[in-house]
């Protein structure tokens, strides 16, 4: 296989991901757009009245005034009720998200925060509220068609259209929030995010290349946090200009503190300091470049489901279904350290990544400790391991076989009854049919 090199990150990728992790940006832009929209539509309303007056069409102006007066009642009602509606809707939604995070894992809150439908709904709700208030300022006390300067005709019609859009988005938002409370859609969302990360990974054979002697190390100087994203293209350019090879010491998902060595320099002159805008550090892990984060979330959900306080083995089985899906997608992929090359084909950046054994341990180790209490989970886990073993090449079967043997020993030690032990050790893709 030929190495595909590295994929260039999207422009302003760290900023884009930061904005996606916030809930204020889209509503703020929506409020600004509502003001700009009102200013433009009010100018059109004034132009319509001016044109009709120039044409001596005072009767038509009077009709517009009567229509706007009728619509004023609706606009007033919308402006007074919309903010209350926003508060009630999102209070209920926050309770639903809190319940979902308690039943599954706190990491699902990130799905709600990054949800496009949630941000779009709040944006349209706030924009409708602000626009209706601005429209009310456009109504004039003058009712004489000859003296009126503007009639908020288009503004009133647009307000009604925004109310209709808000109702449609409310339906979609409630449906999305209810799906967030269900296990199936949540684990499916986590799996799809992980598969997208796999699709962005460089391919080809991961062969060890001599990097030369290490000449320097560059420490991290920003705020402490989790390494979430690396701007590969920028680091490759820096290394090419300096004539060096850079080794990214921490993995994506590692916690770094100021002073921690981040880059090891091999050969040539070392950059004076950490290149700007090359790494993104945040308060928690994200799935953008984190290959193991999806397995971590699925394992967390399964562990919480298997806790004595919850005791929901069926949820753990659903997580194992998705774990099998991810491991099956990874089983033939090159893993470990990734070598990023410049345009001339020279290795400029080496980025450490999880090995196959690391991913298998993450997927099965903690769940295996709890599986002995539930035959449904032990049976599904045995079937899961057998399915991946059937797909794995010879050099990757060892880690899977080791977990299978450990699970069998754990069940044999925990379940003294022979019949119950045989039942718990029978592989079943549904756990218990």
Helix, coil or strand: residue 28:
helix
Assess contact for 410 and 370: CB atoms under 8 A: no
Structure tokens at 158: 């647009």
pLDDT of res. 273: 64
pLDDT of res. 79: 82
State pLDDT tens for residues 245-257.
Answer: 888 989 999 999 9
Average pLDDT in the 425-433 region? 89
Measured over all CA atoms, what is the biggest interatomic distance in the chain, rounded to whole angstroms? 99
Nearest to 128 by CA among 171, 177, 168: 168
pLDDT of res. 323: 96
Kindly list the distances between the CA atom of residue 292 and the CA atoms of 125, 150, 262, 306, in Å, as whole numbers in the listed order.
37, 60, 20, 21
pLDDT of res. 191: 93
pLDDT of res. 2: 36
Average pLDDT in the 223-237 region? 87
Residue-averaged pLDDT of the chain:
85
Residues 6+ apart with CB under 8 A from 264: 214, 216, 217, 218, 246, 247, 249
Confidence of residue 3 (pLDDT cuts 50, 70, 90): very low
Kindly tell me if the per-residue pLDDT of 390 is higher than 80. Answer: yes
Which residue, chain included where needed, has tokens 């491991």? 327
CA distance 307 to 316: 10
CA angle 347, 352, 358 (to 5 degrees): 145
Kindly tell me if the per-residue pLDDT of 228 is higher than 70. Answer: yes
State pLDDT tens for residues 20-52.
Answer: 777 888 899 999 999 999 999 999 988 888 888
CA angle 144, 60, 165 (to 5 degrees): 100
- The four Cα atoms 10, 12, 13, 17 give a dihedral, to 10 degrees, of -140
Average pLDDT in the 75-88 region? 83
Kindly tell me if the per-residue pLDDT of 11 is higher than 60. Answer: no
pLDDT of res. 229: 85
Kindly tell me if the per-residue pLDDT of 269 is higher than 60. Answer: yes
pLDDT of res. 293: 92
3-state helix, strand, coil in the chain (%, to 5): 60, 10, 30
Helix, coil or strand: residue 415:
coil
pLDDT of res. 109: 79
**Range scoring the smallest mean pLDDT among 59-73, 318-332, 379-393:** 59-73
State pLDDT tens for residues 336-350.
Answer: 888 888 888 888 888
CA distance 340 to 280: 18
DSSP codes of every residue in 376-392: HHHHHHHHHHHHHHHHS
Residues 6+ apart with CB under 8 A from 336: 206, 352, 353, 354, 355
Integer distance in angstroms from the first to the last C-alpha of the chain? 42
DSSP codes of every residue in 144-169: -TTT-----HHHHHHHHHHHHHHHHH
pLDDT of res. 5: 42
- Phi-psi bin for 381: left (phi > 0), alpha (psi -120 to 50), beta? alpha
In this structure, are strands 347-351 and 338-341 parallel, antiparallel, or unpaired?
antiparallel
């Amino acid at each position: 296989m030929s190495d595909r090199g590295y994929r260039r990150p999207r422009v302003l990728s760290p900023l884009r991901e930061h904005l996606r992790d916030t809930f204020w940006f889209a509503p703020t832009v929506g409020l600004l757009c509502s003001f700009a929209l009102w200013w433009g539509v009010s100018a059109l309303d004034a132009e319509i009245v001016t044109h009709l007056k120039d044409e001596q069409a005072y009767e038509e102006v009077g009709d517009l005034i009567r229509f706007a007066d009728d619509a004023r009642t609706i606009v007033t009602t919308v402006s007074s009720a919309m903010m209350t509606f926003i508060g009630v809707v999102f209070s209920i939604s926050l309770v639903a998200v809190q319940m979902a995070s308690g039943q599954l894992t706190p990491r699902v809150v990130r799905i709600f925060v990054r949800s496009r439908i949630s941000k779009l709904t709040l944006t349209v709700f706030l924009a409708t509220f602000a626009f209706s208030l601005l429209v009310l300022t456009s109504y004039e006390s003058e009712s004489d068609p000859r003296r009126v300067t503007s009639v908020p005709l288009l503004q009133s019609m647009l307000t009604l259209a925004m109310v209709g859009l808000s109702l449609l988005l409310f339906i979609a938002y409630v449906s999305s929030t209810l799906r967030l409370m269900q296990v199936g859609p949540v684990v499916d969302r986590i799996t799809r995010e992980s598969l997208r990360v796999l699709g962005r990974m460089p391919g080809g054979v991961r062969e060890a290349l001599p990097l030369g002697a290490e000449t320097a190390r560059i420490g991290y100087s920003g705020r402490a946090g989790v390494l979430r994203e690396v701007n590969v293209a920028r680091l490759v350019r820096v290394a090419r200009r300096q004539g060096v090879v850079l080794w990214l010491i921490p993995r994506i998902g590692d916690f770094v503190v100021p002073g921690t060595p981040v880059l090891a320099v091999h050969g040539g002159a070392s950059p004076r300091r950490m290149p700007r805008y090359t790494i993104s550090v945040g308060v928690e892990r994200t799935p953008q470049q984190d290959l193991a984060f999806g397995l971590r979330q699925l394992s967390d959900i399964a562990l919480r489901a298997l806790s004595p306080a919850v005791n929901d083995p069926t949820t753990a089985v659903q997580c194992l279904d998705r774990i099998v899906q991810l491991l099956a997608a990874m089983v033939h992929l090159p893993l470990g350290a990734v070598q990023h090359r410049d345009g001339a084909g020279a290795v400029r950046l080496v980025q450490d990544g999880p090995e196959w054994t690391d991913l298998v341990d993450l997927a099965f180790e903690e769940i295996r400790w709890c599986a002995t209490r539930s035959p449904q989970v032990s049976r599904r886990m045995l079937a899961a391991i057998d399915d991946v073993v059937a797909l794995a090449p010879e050099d990757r079967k060892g880690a899977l076989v080791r977990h299978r043997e450990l699970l069998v020993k754990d069940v044999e030690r925990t379940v003294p009854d022979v019949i119950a032990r045989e039942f718990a050790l029978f592989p079943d893709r549904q756990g218990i049919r």
